[in-house]
Copies of this chain bind each other. A is one copy, B any other.
Amino acid sequence: MNTLSYGLLALLARKRSSGYDLMLRIQPFWQAKHSQIYPLLSRMEEQQLLTAEWVKQTDKPDKKIYAITPLGEQRLHEWMQMPASEPVTRDELVLKAFCLWITDKDTALALFRKRSIFYQEQIHYFEQAIHKMPDESHQFGSQDFGLYILRQKALGTARSNMEWTTWVIDMLKNAAPPEMSSEPQHH
Contact = CB atoms under 8 A, between A and B. Distances in A.
Copies of this chain, whole number: 2
A168 B76 CA distance: 22
What does DSSP make chain A's interface, helix, strand, loop or mixed?
Answer: helix
B6 A95 contact: yes
Interface size class for chain A?
35 or more
Given A83-B111, A89-B88, A91-B87, A168 B149 contact: yes
A129 interface: no
A95 B156 contact: no
A10 B98 contact: yes
A36 interface: no
Nearest to A92: B84
- List 8 A-B pairs, minimum CB-CB distance, nearest first: A87-B91, A84-B93, A140-B175, A160-B160, A10-B99, A84-B92, A100-B146, A97-B146
Given A29-B98, A30-B94, A84-B111, 17 more contacts: A10-B95, A10-B96, A13-B102, A14-B99, A31-B88, A76-B102, A80-B111, A84-B92, A84-B114, A98-B147, A101-B145, A149-B171, A152-B164, A153-B161, A156-B164, A157-B157, A159-B160
